[in-house]
Amino acid sequence: MHIRKQRLLTPGPTPLYPPAMQAMMASDIHHRTQDFRNIYTAALADLKDVLGTSNDVLIFAASGTGAMDASVSNLFSPGDKVVVCSAGKFGERWVEIAKAYGLDVTVLKAEYGQAVSVEAVQAALAAEPATKGVFVQASETSTGAAHDIQGMAAAVGSTDAILVVDGITGIGTMPLDVDGWGIDVLIGGSQKSFMIPPGLAFLSVSKKAWALSETATLPHYYFNLKKEKKSADLGESSWTPATSLILALGEALKYVKSLGMANLVANAQLLALAMRAACTELGLELFAPDSPGSSVTSILAPSGMDSGVIVKELRTRFGAIITNGQGSMKGRIFRIAHLGYFDFWDLFAMVAALETILYSNGIPVEFGKGVAAVQRVYAYAAIPTPIAVP
Ligand SMILES: *Cc1c(COP(=O)(O)O)cnc(C)c1O
């Protein structure tokens, strides 16, 4: 009986940037033409610019996992000793990929909601000097926790190992200084902070990582970094590219450049801060309180309530799609995304809807309390001479 606008508010796919969607309509273009080479070359250059690195940056037609797979199959050999920091479902994916390719994996495990410490990485590297690589998520999207990538890069940098960072939701939500910190491989995906649909994976490759690729013997075919680099230098991709997504990426990157990567990060961080403030006001508990990231805020459902009820009612009452917990976290947590094309308007509405749903399920809430917390964060951050706010 009420109008419910459909809203995609998950931590990937994220809300789409409208000019990028419109750009996709120009995809009646052939990829082996100068017109497309110009577009592809510009997209690669802008991606490098936005990632703030002088390392090579390569794009694959794949979801983010494709670039994770490529980083293992191109840089390592069977039996290589590697360390995986696993703090959630995506850390577990690193373990699965590394094991699938026959690497000798040491897993540094953190409980869901916690992060793996830099000290644990240092200790693992000291215990096994032959370690060839360390794998980690910058932001563990399944729990909302973030890792200290700068600290880990410092720990790994003084060894022969390379640091491979799944930055798929870290990019655009936290500072990641690829060259300054020494991140050897940084992986991203189109459907997260880049505000376009799923289907592109990309990664930056350092000199240290390229050197490792020279001795790597694992088989690979479609995901071939060296071949892709040769193609990219000629303005092409090795295989047929996802033309429409490259057009969209070009448009989205223009927007991110105009905004500034630091401001995109600050936007997500401020929204996450405001969401945490709203949780405090509403008596909601954070799932990763010790190292909360800004890609997504994971919140425990009030005791006695299944988080699926919140997810379902956001959809049925308000047309808003958010995510439940994954695996054993399903039913316990719900996740509010902040990465990419999210703004304060979205968050005001989200928190108001959340208050309404808690109320409709018999949880005592004072309407507007959480919203006011978001308003206060906005007022302090964005109103030049704020009137006195309580
Ligand atoms: C989304 C995501 C991925 C990639 O998943 P795909 O489904 O392959 O795109 C990997 N790591 C993290 C941390 C993610 O959030």
Instruction: State pLDDT tens for residues 345-356.
Output: 999 999 999 999
Q: Are 194 and 64 in the same domain? A: yes
Task: Give the pLDDT confidence score for residue 364 in this predicted structure.
Answer: 94
Structural domain contains residue 365: yes
**Number of domains, the chain:** 2
Structural domain contains residue 172: yes
- CA-nearest residue for atom 12, ligand 1, is 168
Kindly state if the Cβ of 141 falls inside 6 Å of ligand 1: yes
Instruction: State pLDDT tens for residues 212-236.
Output: 999 999 999 999 999 999 999 999 9
Structural domain contains residue 1: no
CA of 336 to the centre of ligand 1 (A): 16
Q: By residue range, what is the domain housing residue 272?
A: 7-13+261-382
Ligand 1 binding pocket mutation candidate from 169, 176, 202, 294 (most atoms within 8 A of CB): 169
| 341 neighbors 19 (Cβ within 8 angstroms) | no
Q: Encoding tokens for residue 112?
A: 């869901």
Q: Encoding tokens for residue 5?
A: 């606008």
Ligand 1 binding pocket mutation candidate from 94, 168, 191, 194 (most atoms within 8 A of CB): 168
Euclidean distance between CA atoms 168 and 66, whole angstroms: 11
What is the domain-level CATH number for residue 318? 3.90.1150.10
CA of 263 to the centre of ligand 1 (A): 23
Domain limit, last residue, from 217, 236, 259: 259
Structural domain contains residue 389: no
Q: Are 214 and 116 in the same domain? A: yes
Q: Are 82 and 153 in the same domain? A: yes
Confidence of residue 172 (pLDDT cuts 50, 70, 90): very high
**Better-scored residue on pLDDT, 95 or 387:** 95
CA of 187 to the centre of ligand 1 (A): 10
Q: Are 150 and 296 in the same domain? A: no
Closest by CA to 47, choosing from 192, 256, 231, 198, is 256
Kindly state if the Cβ of 12 falls inside 6 Å of ligand 1: yes
Kindly state if the Cβ of 63 falls inside 6 Å of ligand 1: yes
Q: Are 311 and 373 in the same domain? A: yes
Q: Are 229 and 317 in the same domain? A: no
| 323 neighbors 311 (Cβ within 8 angstroms) | yes
Domain limit, last residue, from 240, 259, 278: 259
Mean pLDDT value across residues 41-48: 98
Confidence of residue 253 (pLDDT cuts 50, 70, 90): very high
Instruction: State pLDDT tens for residues 144-157.
Output: 999 999 999 999 99
Domain limit, last residue, from 244, 259, 274: 259
| 257 neighbors 161 (Cβ within 8 angstroms) | no
In Å, what is the CA distance from 46 to each residue of 57, 102, 172, 191, 260?
10, 36, 14, 17, 12
Instruction: State pLDDT tens for residues 289-303.
Output: 999 999 999 999 999
Q: Which atom of ligand 1 is nearest to the CA of 138?
A: 13
Confidence of residue 388 (pLDDT cuts 50, 70, 90): low
Structural domain contains residue 339: yes
